[in-house]
Structure 1
Amino acid sequence: MDMRLEFIVLPVADVSRAKAFYTSLGWREDADIGEGDARVVQLTPPRSDCSIMLGPSLTSAAPGSLDGLYLVVNDVEAARTELIGHGVDVSEVFHVAGGGLPLANGQKRTPGLAPKRASYFSFASFNDPDGNGWYLQEVTTRLPGRLW
Structure 2
Amino acid sequence: MKFEVTVLPVSDVDRAEHFYKTLGWRLDADFTADDGLRVVQLTPPGSPASIIFGSGITTAEPGSARDLMLVVDDIEAARAELADRGVAVSEVFHDAGGVFHHAGTEGRLPGPDPERRSYSSFVSFSDPDGNGWIVQEITTRLPGR
* Normalised TM-score (structure 2): 0.96
Q: Secondary structure at the match of 2:27?
A: strand
Shift of 1:103: 2.4
Please list, as runs of the form range in 1=range in 2, the aligned pairs for 1:52-71 lying within 5 A after superposition.
52-71=51-70
Answering whether residue 49 of structure 2 is matched by residue 50 of structure 1, we say yes
**15, 22, 26: which one pairs with 1:17?**
15
The amino acid of 1:95's aligned partner reads: H
Sequence identity, in percent?
A: 60
Distance 1:127 1:104 in 2: 14
| Higher alpha-carbon deviation: 92-101 or 115-124 | 92-101
Shift of 1:116: 1.3
Amino acid at match of 1:140: T
Taking the aligned partners of 2:44 and 2:84, their CA distance within structure 1 comes to 17
Is contact 1:67–1:104 with CA below 8 Å preserved after alignment? no
Unaligned runs of 5+ in 2: none
Contact 2:11 2:129 in 1 (8 A): yes
Q: How many angstroms does 1:70 deviate by? A: 0.6
Q: Does 1:145 align with 2:121?
A: no
Cα distance per residue 1:86-141 (max 9 Å; x no partner): 10000010000121222232100011111210000000000000000001100000
Q: Does 1:111 align with 2:100?
A: no
* Distance in 1 between residues matched to 2:95 and 2:84, nearest whole Å: 26
Runs of 4 or more consecutive aligned structure 1 residues displaced over 3 Å after TM superposition = none
Q: Is the 8 A contact 1:37 1:55 kept in 2?
A: no
* 1:90 match: 89
Q: C-alpha separation between the residues in 1 aligned to 2:109 and 2:137?
A: 15
- RMSD (Å) for aligned C-alpha atoms: 1.1
Tell me the amino acid that sits aligned with residue 8 of structure 1.
T
Runs of 5+ consecutive residues of structure 1 not aligned to the other structure:
none
Aligned residues: 144
Q: In 2, Cα distance between the equivalents of 1:64 and 1:100?
A: 27
